[in-house]
Amino acid sequence: MDFRLRDFQREDFERLWSIDQRCFPSGISYTRLELKFYMHRRGAFTLVAEKVGPELTPEAVGFIVAESGRGGVGHIITIDVLPTVRRFGVGSRLLTAAEDRLRSAQCQTVFLETAVDNRTALSFYKRHKYFLIRTVPRYYSNGLDAFVLQKDLLSQEGAASVLA
C-alpha cells in the first residue's frame, strides 16, 4: 500500500473524527468537540496519512495529533490508523514524523497515554522505545486506567525501563 503524509486541512476533520470513532471504543474515542479542541491547542499539529495510487482518489487512513509544550516536552494526543491498513507501517511513519517535528520544536522528551488493556498499542510503543512512567487511575471517561509512556527524543539509547 502506498501512502503519503501531509498536514491537516480543515476539510479533513469529519473523516478524521470518523477514523477516531472506528479506532477506539466509546469512552476512549473523542467527541467532535474534544478532537477539535486538541487539534487547535497552542503548539498542536495534526499529520494525516493518505492512501494514494494511480487508480485511487487520495483518502485519509490515519492521523496523529501532537503538541509541543513548555520545557521541551512534547505530547502525543492521539494516533489513529484504520484497522484495514494496520501492519503497513502507517502508524510508525506517523509517529516518527511527529517525533521529528517535536525535535524541531526543541522538545527533548515526549509522552502519551494509552489504555492499560490496549496490548496492541503497548507493543507498538515498546517497538518505538517508549517506557512506562506511571499509571493514571480512571483516566478515561469509561473509568479505565491509562499508562503514561515517555520517550527521550535526544537519545535512542538508555531507555532502561523499556516496557516489558
Q: What is the mean pLDDT of the chain?
A: 91
The domain total for the chain is 1
Residue 150 domain-assigned? no
Quick count: other Cβ atoms within 10 Å of Cβ 15?
15
**Distance (Å, rounded) from C-alpha 5 to C-alpha 158?**
30
Among 13-17, 31-35, 54-58, 78-82, where is mean pLDDT lowest?
54-58
Residue 129 domain-assigned? no
**Distance (Å, rounded) from C-alpha 47 to C-alpha 97?**
8
**Distance (Å, rounded) from C-alpha 46 to C-alpha 53?**
22
pLDDT recorded at residue 53: 82
Residue 90 domain-assigned? yes
CB-based contact 145:139 (threshold 8 Å): yes
Among 7-11, 53-57, 98-102, 103-107, where is mean pLDDT lowest?
53-57
What's the pLDDT band for 101 if we cut at 50, 70, 90?
A: very high
Residue 137 domain-assigned? no
pLDDT recorded at residue 163: 43
The pLDDT tens digits of the residues spanning 9-32 come to: 999 999 999 999 999 988 889 999
**Distance (Å, rounded) from C-alpha 103 to C-alpha 93?**
15
CATH number at residue 83: 3.40.630.30
Residue 41 domain-assigned? yes
Give the DSSP H/E element, type plus range, for residue 136: strand 131-136
Residue 23 domain-assigned? yes
**Distance (Å, rounded) from C-alpha 151 to C-alpha 117?**
20
- C-alpha closest to that of 48 among 21, 100, 9, 1: 9
Residue 127 domain-assigned? no
Cell of 70: 513548555
pLDDT at 56 > cutoff 80:
no
Please give the average per-residue pLDDT across 75-86, as a whole number.
Answer: 96
* Residue 39 lies in domain: 2-109
Q: What are phi and psi of 123, to 5 degrees?
A: -65, -45
DSSP 34: H
Residue 20 domain-assigned? yes
